[in-house]
Amino acid sequence: MRLTIFGKIALIILLVQAIHAAVLFFHTIPHIRAQQYRSERIVGIEMVNKIEALIKQFAEQLKQYEQDAYDHRKNRIREIVDGYAKSIQAQLETVQADKKLYEIVKTQILAATRGFLYGKEDYLYIVNSNGDMLSHPDPRLHGTNQFDLMDANGFFFVRELAKRATEQNSGYLVYRWRRLGGDTPAEKIAYYHRIPELDWIIATGVYTDDIKDEVQSRRELFIDMLSFTVSKATIGKTGYMYVFNEDCVMLIHPSMPIGTDFSDQPNPGASDSICRDLKDSIAKSDGELFYKWDHPSDRGNYVYDKVSWVRYNEDFKLYLASSAYMSELNESSENIKRTLLATVVIVFAVSSLVAFVFVRLWILLPIRTLSRAAREVQNGNLAVRSNLASRDELGQFSRVFDAMIDQVREMI
């Protein structure tokens, strides 16, 4: 099949346009898509990182509050016990010369100590290094030997108290004990002060369960506030954030009921549960997990590609995750792709039309004019002229052609 000059030129134009379209489709568009995904990925990661930073900040504040509360109570009971010990020593010094009176005052002090209450059911007690309870407001303990007394955890706290007091006179001890008139044990911080000449160990303790209750209350309030913040976060159109604990119980989720145990929820297309895979993903530097999941518009159909970025907070023992559907992350690039393809088609059509018009006017028509003139000369008409006025190669060829015909006429 013979191609005309116009056909050859048109073929070249089409090939150039095709190469341009191929470069755009196979290089430029994939590059734009990758860049767009990276941008959306950064948004998802930054979102979960910000929530993680918020939790860390609150956890530090909560730790500081708890430590300050403990320190306040420790300082308070130390001041009470040390002050009481000094008061006892001062009273006994005044009657030290009279042994009989000295013993009477000791007895009175022990009796008075039994009624020494402060705060909220807090009290003083006195025990010696042998574990004899010399003074205690609880009748079940007063006047008995409590060397083998254990707390709720099986800790021989009286024995340990006597041991430490003998070694260093004063200090702190933590154990679990019931409140006065109660049966439920709670954590207690005790401070002791030993008067060596009497072998009296004066001690008191304050319960700290209310501190822990307050800490827990603040944690729960923070989770409620966090739930509001997380629920407002979106990635793409339907992407969201969620929070679950170490037991795979969902704490914050836009659609799953709070408190749902999803430990047995399978990861479609994988051998383990989705919770286990989410937990394992934190071992990666970016905490990224790709998986199949259902879509809000197509519940129960786990065929949609999804990605989650997971973080773990050690203080709260919580897993934080932001997630998005891959189709939505790539949606912007798909829009760009469609726009570029439409632009390519339009540019291809317009440029081809313009190219064909100008090729016809500037190349094909002058060539046809020269061709007709050459056929006239072939038929014996030496009076014909091409008369092309252009200054390009075809114009030069036209002038040479016309000059050649003039020379031939002169020769004849």
Nearest to 371 by CA among 356, 392, 386: 386
Look at residue 289 and tell me whether its pLDDT is greater than 70: yes
Residue 33's pLDDT band (boundaries 50, 70, 90)? low
Place of tokens 């002229």: 385
Look at residue 1 and tell me whether its pLDDT is greater than 60: no
Contact 36, 330 (CB under 8 A): yes
Q: What would the pLDDT profile of 232-263 be if each residue is shown by its tens digit?
A: 777 777 888 999 999 999 998 888 888 999 99
Burial 203-236 (b: 16+ CB within 10 A, else e): bbbbbbeebeeeeeeeeeebbeebeeebeebebb
One-letter amino acid at 153 equals N
Place of tokens 């004899």: 132
> How much is the pLDDT for 270?
81
**186-to-23, 151, 208, 211 alpha-carbon distances in Å:** 73, 10, 8, 11
Strand-strand pairing, 304-313 and 288-293: antiparallel
Q: Report the percentage of the chain scoring pLDDT > 70.
A: 85
Which 3 state secondary structure label does DSSP give 184? coil
Residue 340's pLDDT band (boundaries 50, 70, 90)? low
Burial 262-289 (b: 16+ CB within 10 A, else e): beeeebeeeeebbbebbbebbeeeebeb
Q: Report the percentage of the chain scoring pLDDT > 90.
A: 41
Under DSSP, the state recorded for 249 is: B
Work out the mean pLDDT of the chain and round it to a whole number.
Answer: 84
> How much is the pLDDT for 400?
75
Delineate the domains of the chain, giving CATH numbers in brackets: 33-65+216-327 (3.30.450.20), 70-213 (3.30.450.20), 333-411 (no CATH)
Residue 21's pLDDT band (boundaries 50, 70, 90)? low
Look at residue 3 and tell me whether its pLDDT is greater than 60: no
Q: Which positions ≥6 away from 249 have C-beta within 8 Å?
A: 259, 260, 261, 262
Q: What would the pLDDT profile of 203-215 be if each residue is shown by its tens digit?
A: 999 988 889 899 9
Spatial distance between the Cα atoms of 258 and 265, rounded to a whole number of angstroms: 15
Spatial distance between the Cα atoms of 325 and 99, rounded to a whole number of angstroms: 88
Q: What would the pLDDT profile of 77-102 be if each residue is shown by its tens digit?
A: 999 999 999 999 999 999 988 999 99
Phi and psi at 3, nearest 5°, equal: -100, 135
Mean pLDDT for 25-42 is 66
Mean pLDDT for 318-342 is 73
Mean pLDDT for 123-128 is 94
Q: Which positions ≥6 away from 122 have C-beta within 8 Å?
A: 77, 204, 205, 206, 207
Phi and psi at 4, nearest 5°, equal: -75, 170
> How much is the pLDDT for 7?
65
Residue 385's pLDDT band (boundaries 50, 70, 90)? confident
Look at residue 296 and tell me whether its pLDDT is greater than 60: yes
pLDDT-wise least confident of 32-36, 101-105, 372-376: 32-36
Mean pLDDT for 182-194 is 90
Q: Compare 136 and 36 and report the one with higher pLDDT.
A: 136
pLDDT-wise least confident of 60-69, 174-183, 212-221, 255-264: 174-183
Look at residue 27 and tell me whether its pLDDT is greater than 90: no
> How much is the pLDDT for 408?
75
Contact 195, 89 (CB under 8 A): yes
Place of tokens 């430990």: 263
Residue 2's pLDDT band (boundaries 50, 70, 90)? low
Q: Residue 10 CB: number of other CB atoms within 10 A?
A: 16
> How much is the pLDDT for 76?
94
Look at residue 108 and tell me whether its pLDDT is greater than 90: yes
Burial of 27 (0-12, 13-18, 19+ CB in 10 A): exposed
Residue 294's pLDDT band (boundaries 50, 70, 90)? confident
Spatial distance between the Cα atoms of 320 and 229, rounded to a whole number of angstroms: 13
